[in-house]
């Protein structure tokens, strides 16, 4: 979304208006065995054409609405529509100027939006007013069998001759309806645009030539404390066997081979490190580029692979997870033989949602 959308829409609308000026808005045609008489009503002029079917020639006359003879009602209707059309033209030109100001970030988009909305309403008013009033105004025209026109569009065929009376909208009437939709789209594109704001610390003063350019304001320091990111989670039973493994992301075959090697190394490390009951319940192990945090309780170990972050933020989560696992699966984890643990995935998922983690269990 940008002000260029409003400029483009208004420019296209201006081109449509220019085309509509040269096209009829409404036409009336009476055809009999001798001739075809046509009245074409444009926005600013009227064309009267009489075509002789016998001789094949046609005579054409053009009028302006103030000088239209014998059609005072139609003249009054189209003169009123002319003012509305000029208002439409002014709103489109104003929308172009206001959109340019918005593009330069000096004006809110609501102003060109209002100009486009006004043009949309005027573009709709002209064809709607013609629909509502043209049947009454057309009483100035010759009537077939003494009957007035029954509607905005239609035709009447005389039952005793080959006389046909047809009337209806011209191309300009459809162009105005399309213009209404186009202007509504343009208004929606620019309505929410905001003018540019000066950056904080900027004085808005341009240094003179030869003067040193002031340095930009310093960037805010990066946070010293990074949220830890846990990639892999391993639950190892008291007998040293892997009970459950979960990963933060989907793994390829290569990743699975690497994780398989990690599981083997971790299982051996757990047997050696946590064999004594009085051993430290938290260990941090680095294997190449991988950093593991291990937490032990009653010989049951939860190990996580961490890619960044502070260890102290992860330990309370691991202790809480261990307390939950022991409380729910203590008998199965002490001598795990491959039996599935229902719901263990939901317990482990808590590690990836620390904001919903309750306080860790008391020691």
Count CB-CB contacts under 10 A for residue 165: 22
Do residues 7 and 124 share a domain? yes
- Residue 283 CB: number of other CB atoms within 10 A? 17
Residues 83 and 155 placed together within one structural domain of the fold: yes
pLDDT of residue 160: 63
172 near 23, Cβ under 8 Å? Answer: yes
What is the rounded average pLDDT of the residues 312-335? 84
On average, the pLDDT of the chain sits at 80
Q: How far apart are CA 67 and CA 69, in angstroms?
A: 6
Q: Is 80 within a domain?
A: yes
Q: Determine the pLDDT at residue 198.
A: 52
Co-location of 288 and 350 in the same domain: yes
Question: Are residue 98 and residue 180 in the same domain, yes or no?
Answer: yes
pLDDT in tens, 39-81: 999 989 999 999 998 888 889 999 999 888 888 999 999 999 9
Mean pLDDT of 150-179: 85
Domain that holds residue 114: 3-190
Query: Residue 306: which residues within 8 A CB-CB, separation 6 or more?
Result: 228, 229, 230, 231, 291, 292, 293, 314
> Cβ-count burial of 216 within 10 angstroms (0-12 exposed, 13-18 middle, 19+ buried)?
exposed
pLDDT of residue 356 exceeding 80: no
Number of Cβ atoms within 10 Å of the Cβ of 118: 19
Cα–Cα distances (Å) from 352 to 150, 243, 246, 302, 313, in that order, read 74, 19, 11, 14, 12
- Which of 147, 152, 150, 143 lies closest to 37, judged by CA? 143
Polymer length in residues for the chain: 363
Q: What percent of the chain has pLDDT over 70?
A: 77
Query: Of 105-109, 207-211, 340-344, 347-351, which gets the smallest average pLDDT?
Result: 207-211
- Asked whether residue 112 is assigned to any structural domain, the reply reads yes
* Domain containing residue 136: CATH number: 1.20.140.150
Residue 223, domain member (yes or no): no
Distance of alpha carbon 253 from alpha carbon 83, whole angstroms: 75
Q: Please state the pTM of the whole predicted model.
A: 0.51
CA proximity to 194, closest of 289, 306, 92, 111: 111
The mean pLDDT of 128-132, rounded to a whole number, is 91
On whether residue 195 sits in a domain, the answer given is no
Q: Are residues 300 and 173 in the same domain?
A: no
Give yes or no for residue 148 having a pLDDT over 60.
yes
Question: Is there a domain that residue 54 lies in?
Answer: yes
Whether residues 251 and 340 fall in one domain: yes
């Amino acid at each position: 979304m940008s002000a260029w959308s409003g400029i483009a829409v208004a420019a296209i609308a201006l081109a449509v208006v220019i085309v509509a000026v040269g096209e009829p808005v409404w036409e009336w045609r009476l055809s009999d065995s001798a001739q075809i008489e046509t009245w074409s009503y444009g926005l600013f002029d009227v064309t009267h054409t009489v075509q002789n079917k016998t001789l094949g020639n046609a005579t054409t006359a053009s009028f302006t609405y103030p000088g239209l003879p014998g059609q005072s009602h139609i003249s009054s209707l189209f003169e009123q529509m002319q003012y509305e059309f000029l208002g439409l033209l002014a709103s489109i030109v104003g929308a172009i100027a206001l959109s340019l100001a918005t593009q330069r970030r000096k004006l809110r988009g609501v102003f060109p939006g209002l100009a486009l909305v006004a043009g949309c309403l005027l573009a709709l008013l002209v064809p709607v007013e013609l629909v509502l009033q043209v049947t009454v105004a057309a009483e100035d025209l010759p009537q077939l069998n003494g009957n007035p026109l029954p509607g905005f569009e239609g035709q009447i065929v005389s039952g005793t001759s080959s006389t046909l009376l047809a009337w209806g909208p011209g191309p300009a009437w459809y162009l105005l309806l399309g213009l209404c939709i186009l202007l509504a789209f343009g208004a929606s594109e620019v309505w929410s645009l905001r003018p540019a704001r000066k950056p904080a610390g900027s004085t808005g003063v341009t240094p003179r030539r030869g003067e040193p350019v002031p340095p930009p304001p310093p960037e805010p320091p990066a946070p010293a404390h990074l949220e830890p990111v846990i990639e892999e989670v391993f639950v190892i039973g008291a007998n040293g066997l892997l009970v459950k493994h979960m990963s933060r992301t989907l793994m390829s075959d290569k990743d699975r081979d690497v994780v398989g090697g990690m599981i083997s190394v971790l299982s051996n490390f757990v047997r050696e490190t946590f064999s004594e009951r009085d051993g430290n319940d938290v260990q941090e192990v680095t294997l190449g580029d991988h950093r593991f945090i291990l937490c032990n309780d009653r010989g049951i170990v939860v190990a996580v692979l961490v890619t960044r972050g502070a260890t102290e933020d992860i330990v309370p989560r691991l202790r809480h997870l261990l307390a939950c696992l022991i409380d729910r699966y203590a008998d199965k984890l002490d001598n795990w033989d491959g039996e599935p643990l229902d719901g263990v995935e939901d317990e482990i998922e808590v590690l990836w949602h620390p904001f919903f983690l309750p306080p860790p269990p008391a020691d």
